[in-house]
Amino acid sequence: MTFKEADEDDTVESGDDQQSPLQEAATTGDVATLQALIRFDADVNEAPHGYYGRTALQAACENDHLDCARALLEAHADVHGQVGNNRSRSALALAAATGNLALVALLLKHGAKVNDPAERYYGRTALQGAAETASDDVVRMLLDRGADVDAKGASTSGVTALQAAAASGSTTLVALLLSHGADVNAAPSKYKGRTALQAAALAGHIDVVDLLLQAGADVNAPGSDFKGGMALHAAAERGHVDIVSRLLSHGAEVNAVAGWGGQTAMQGAAAAGHDDVVELLRQAGAVGGLGRGVLLFE
């Protein structure tokens, strides 16, 4: 984009939303255009546009553009600028998810709050964002800066840092967070949440499952309010025979019911077409028919 084009048009189309020229430059990493716009007094703190909007600084951080973020901060961009409505995350949380240690350090240097809470709709704290993408070095830096290891997740599809790390499959991060006192049995968020064990079981990470069980994870913890299933339901539905076996050996209730309709793990396995899991569950004492099964973890 040339500066003339940006000067002639107040907004630039971006999917279903609008972006200012400065936000567009930050999104694409066009630092030359961004610096030109700043020289012509573009508002570095212009609010996000539309449902998916980002401030310029948030856009630069989300897309891992360190030079753009630095230029914006030097122009006094608000490191705590307001967030858009959807998947709303602070600049620090967005940067943490990229794994860019220098970008995270830059924001912290400019006063970013390490424990800004997660917004209610798909939000993340910085630590949760870093754990979700298995960004080990960023997680360590944030913990060193006092990040709350058990900060509450968003009410919709939220995660604790440990739940996020478990879903990512990183045994290194799971062990690190546990060593910092993470609650292995933190409850899932109300809507589409998972306990750490449920998240690991769903994703098929048996090494993480083992680590969590050793740390005292509740094998029969209930799932979220929205169609939530237990760890056994998750593993069965995804066809992870090894994890189903491990959970059963640690006391998983083979006939426990979950979800709105109250279905068993065997019904979920049958609905997903995992005959080997169905047979394993039958051998472990599962009873009842296979009908009426639905997928709880779509």
- pLDDT tens digits, 186-209: 999 988 899 999 999 999 999 999
Three-class DSSP labels, 237-258: HHCCHHHHHHHHHCCCCCCCCE
Q: Residue 263, SS3?
A: strand
Give the whole-number percent of the chain exceeding pLDDT 70. Answer: 91
Residue 149 has pLDDT above 80, yes or no: yes
pTM of the complete model? 0.90
What number is the average pLDDT over the span 144-156?
94
Could you give all domains of the chain from N- to C-terminal order, each with its CATH number? 1-86 (1.25.40.20)
Residue 88 has pLDDT above 80, yes or no: no
Residue 180 has pLDDT above 50, yes or no: yes
Residue 259 has pLDDT above 60, yes or no: yes
- pLDDT tens digits, 43-58: 999 998 877 789 999 9
Q: Can you give the pLDDT at residue 297?
A: 80
Q: Can you give the pLDDT at residue 260?
A: 72
Residue 8 has pLDDT above 70, yes or no: no
Buried b (16+ CB within 10 A) or exposed e, 265-291: bbbbbbbbebeebbebbeebebeeeee
Residue 23 has pLDDT above 50, yes or no: yes
Q: Can you give the pLDDT at residue 81?
A: 86
Q: Can you give the pLDDT at residue 2?
A: 35
Q: Can you give the pLDDT at residue 276?
A: 98
Q: Can you give the pLDDT at residue 172?
A: 97
Residue with tokens 């914006």: 72
pLDDT band (50, 70, 90) for residue 136: very high
Cα torsion for 235, 214, 164, 148, to the nearest 10°?
160
The whole-angstrom separation of Cα 262 and Cα 186 is: 23
